[in-house]
Amino acid sequence: MELTSREAWGLVHGIVLGGFFLVAFAGVVVGLWSFRGPVTAEGVKERLRRLWIGTWGLAIVAWAAVVTGTYVVYPWYRAGPPEGTTDLSQYPRSFLIGNPDTDLWHKFAMEWKEHITWTTPVLTTAVAFIVSYYGWRLAYNSKMRYAALALFILAFAAAAIGGILGGLITKKAPIL
């Protein structure tokens, strides 16, 4: 049950960081959705602390996921084979593009995933800022709260697209 270092990094990027974001999102979005007045001072303090930790925590996790994905895992994925190489299994991008039955896994799936997932940490950071800046006032400012919710849901959608496509691409052309 050994993993190569590349497989381990892929695991960190996709399952640990990406998976954590997707799962923890549910808790944070419920916290944001239910953060409505009237509130008591004690109640809002406790819920705000959880929201603050949740949104900033997920922003950090999302940044870590895209940075490890782009600067650690992706170079291994896109590395070109030396001239004359016939076994492309160690070169996922070339492996996928080289076969018309699999080229869409790169031309559509990876091309979409590698771009759209970068929106997740940026949108989540904006949400974390709004929660931090407005604090308890968010409970009484439904427009700003719904705006933050909308950004957060879009961030999740982008992460989900990346997670699903990334998992499927890894199945088709694993980074070994």
Give residues 88-107 in contact with other proteins (rule: CB under 8 A): 107
The pattern of x and - marking residues 36 through 75 that bind other proteins according to CB under 8 A reads -xxxxx--x-------------------------xx--xx
How far is CA 119 from its chain centroid?
9
Q: Taking contact as CB under 8 A, which single stretch among the options 2-10, 27-35, 53-61, 146-154 is the one that binds other proteins?
A: 146-154
Residue with Cβ nearer other proteins (94 or 119): 119
Query: Does residue number 130 form part of the binding site for other proteins (CB under 8 A)?
Result: yes
Q: Is 17 helix (H, G, I), strand (E, B) or coil?
A: helix
Q: What is the DSSP string of 130-155?
A: HHHHHGGGGGG-HHHHHHHHHHHHHH
Query: Does residue number 147 form part of the binding site for other proteins (CB under 8 A)?
Result: yes
Neighbours of 155 (CB within 10 A): 26
Cα–Cα distance for residue pair 41/33, rounded to 1 Å: 18
The pattern of x and - marking residues 4 through 23 that bind other proteins according to CB under 8 A reads --------------------
Query: Does residue number 115 form part of the binding site for other proteins (CB under 8 A)?
Result: yes
How far is CA 75 from its chain centroid?
18
Smallest distance, Å, CB 123 to other proteins?
Answer: 5
Which residue in 16, 24, 154, 160 binds other proteins (CB under 8 A)? Answer: 154
Query: Do the Cβ atoms of 119 and 65 come closer than 8 Å?
Result: no
Residue with Cβ nearer other proteins (88 or 144): 144
Query: Do the Cβ atoms of 21 and 120 come closer than 8 Å?
Result: yes
Q: 156-176 in b/e burial notation, b at 16+ Cβ within 10 A?
A: bebbbbbbebbeebbeebebe
Name the site residues for other proteins (rule: CB under 8 A).
37-41, 44, 70-71, 74-75, 78-79, 107-108, 111-112, 114-116, 118-119, 122-123, 125-126, 129-130, 133-134, 136-137, 140-141, 143-144, 147, 150-151, 154
